[in-house]
Structure formats: structure tokens, C-alpha cells
Structure 1
Amino acid sequence: MSIHHRIATAAAAAVAAVALVLVGAGPAVAGSPHFIKNATTASLDGTSLVVDFKEAGLESGSVETITVTAHLDATFSCVNGGNNVPSDPKKTTISDEFSNSDDFTAGKNGNVVGSLPLSPPAAASVLDCPKGQKATLISGTWSDISIEDETSGAFLAIPGSFSF
């Protein structure tokens, strides 16, 4: 085999190797979508529960529908004009699941970072008070908190409960 043939063969092999590397260097494909536990937290803002989150392992530019769900046990009471609860208070309690969803777009790094709030229902929609009294949310506890990416299927239960 001549020296020119060996050089040509080596050059062809090098071009083929470079072509394989370039073909493999296409856009990154999504990994395993998941919420980052230490970057996904819940906290209270007044009576609202706010879930801050970070999800990783997504395809860059993908639009993800994120849903936060939690259970609320709350007590509502009628309060008079002096901001006092009457001696024979009209009260009601609720125990129900609440959720909130929104769409988020993954960044170039395949991450979505965001926040979703859950708010209790308006007191007037839960309790009808006599004239001169106002329906008021007295207390409540958010529990059984979870976050789910409806698009990717990622899910995380967030431990703890939050009382106000």
C-alpha cells in the first residue's frame, strides 16, 4: 500500500469520525423530568399557600402545564361591626381540595422555575351572615400539598402543613 493510499484512508477515517461527532452533537434531548426537592417549597402568604418550584430534565422550549393541589380545612364566622364574633356565632367549616394550574416554558437548560398560589374561597361565598355582620375567614390549615407537571408526568408531594 502506497503512502498516498494510507494518507487518503486515514483522512477518510478522520472525516467519518468528525461526521459522527457532529451528528451526535444535535440538540439535547430531554432527560428524566423531575421536580428538584430542595428548590420546591410551600409557604404562607397571609391565608394563601404559595408553592415555589423548579423542574429539571425537560426539553428546551417545551411548554409544561404545572398544577399545584392542596387540601384546606377552614373555619368561617360572622363578625359584627365592632369586629367581634357574636356570643351566638354563625359559623361554618369547609374541608376541600383546591388546585391551580398555569403553563410555563422550559429554558435553554431544560429547567422550569416558577410559583403558583392557592387561595381560600371568599368568605362571603361560603357563609351568609345576618345584616350588620360580615363573613370572615377565622382560621385554616393547608395540607396534602403536591405539584404535578401534567405535560411531563413529573410529580412531587411536598411535606408539611401550614396553619393561619
Structure 2
Amino acid sequence: MSIKRIAIALAAATGAVLLAASPAFAGNAHFIDHHTGASLNGTSLVVSFKEAGLESGSVETVTATAHLMAVYQCINNGGSNPADPKKTTVDAEVSQSGEFTANKNGQLVGSLTLSTPDAASVLDCPNGQKAMLTAGTWSSVEIMDETSGAWAAVDGSFSFGAPVGHGRK
């Protein structure tokens, strides 16, 4: 056997060993648009997603983030605002993270829920009144895989709220 043939055989054998020893890796992590979105569940925002192009079995840290603009008011026992209502607005970025494992095809499917702050923690009301979240909007929704670097924006804003009566009761 010539030296040239030995070198080619050795290179081929080395390549085969390296391919067999390394796990399959797609290397093109991305969120799939038509499987990534958001919806309201009461006042909470549920961000659902599907990511592909991951290594089979990889554990990914995914974070959902959105901007919350919410109005909290003191409501009397009759269900109305007092004549001089006490209220406050929350204007903040809210995020939630979780760990997800890619399936054998290098995909993961999941959801994360962003919640509004509890009314009693935001607003202190006088006796005979209770703090309530009365309206709000989630906007600028994003999903990020902190492990792979994949990122996507979710179109739209998501508003919630119920009318509150005015005046004394």
C-alpha cells in the first residue's frame, strides 16, 4: 500500500470516529413564527412557543418578557370608585423564565405565563375599600432562548379590564 492510500484511509477513519463520537447538532436555533404567540388568561399573559434547530436532549433556558401598563384602584364595597378615587399605575417590564428540554428532533414546545402584581401589594386602600386591578395592557412581547440565543418578537398588544362605576354608593 502506498503512503498516499494509507494517509487517505487514516483521514477517513479519523473523520468517521469524530462523526460517530459527536452528538447530532442542528446549530440553527430559531422560534417558529406560526407556533409562537401570546394570549390573555384573565389578566395574565401566556406566551406559547415552538423552537427548532436545537441539539437533541439539550436543556434550554427560555425567557418571556413583556411591558405591562396596569391601573389599580381602590373600590368601595358597592363595587364603585369613591368620589375621590385612590389609584396608581404600574408601568414595568415583566419576565418569566423556565427550563425546557429539546426532543429527539431538536425541538421544544412550551409556554410561560406573565402575571400582574397582586393588587394588595401595589395599592394600600382606606377601610371599607379594597385594591383592585381595573385595566391594563401587555405590549412589546418577546421570547428569548438564553442558551441558544434564538429570539422572537410577538406581534400585538393585549388589553384587559372591566368598567368600574363612579361615584359614592
Q: Please report the TM-score for the alignment, with normalisation by the length of structure 1.
A: 0.84
Distance 1:24 1:62 in 2: 18
Aligned residue for 1:62? Answer: 58
Deviation of 1:129 (Å): 0.2
Q: One-letter code of the match for 2:35?
A: A
**Alpha carbon RMSD of aligned pairs, Å?**
2.0
Distance 2:19 2:121 in 1: 58
Deviation of 1:24 (Å): 4.8
Q: Does 1:43 align with 2:39?
A: yes
Distance 1:72 1:27 in 2: 41
Among 127, 150, 153, the residue aligned to 1:131: 127
Structure 1's 39 and 135: CA in aligned 2 closer, same or farther, altered over 3 A?
same
Per the alignment, in what secondary structure is the counterpart of residue 117 of structure 1? strand
Aligned residue for 1:118? Answer: 114
Distance 1:27 1:62 in 2: 11
Aligned residue for 1:147? Answer: 143
Deviation of 1:38 (Å): 0.6
Q: Does 1:107 align with 2:103?
A: yes
Where does the alignment leave 5 or more consecutive residues of structure 1 unmatched? 1-16
Distance 2:119 2:47 in 1: 23
Distance 1:27 1:81 in 2: 63
Deviation of 1:20 (Å): 7.3
Q: Which runs of 4+ in 1 moved over 6 A?
A: 19-23
Q: Please report the TM-score for the alignment, with normalisation by the length of structure 2.
A: 0.82
Aligned residue for 2:167? Answer: none
Q: One-letter code of the match for 1:116?
A: L
Pair member with larger Rg? 1
Aligned residue for 2:152? Answer: 156
Where does the alignment leave 5 or more consecutive residues of structure 2 unmatched? 1-11, 161-169
Q: One-letter code of the match for 2:83?
A: S
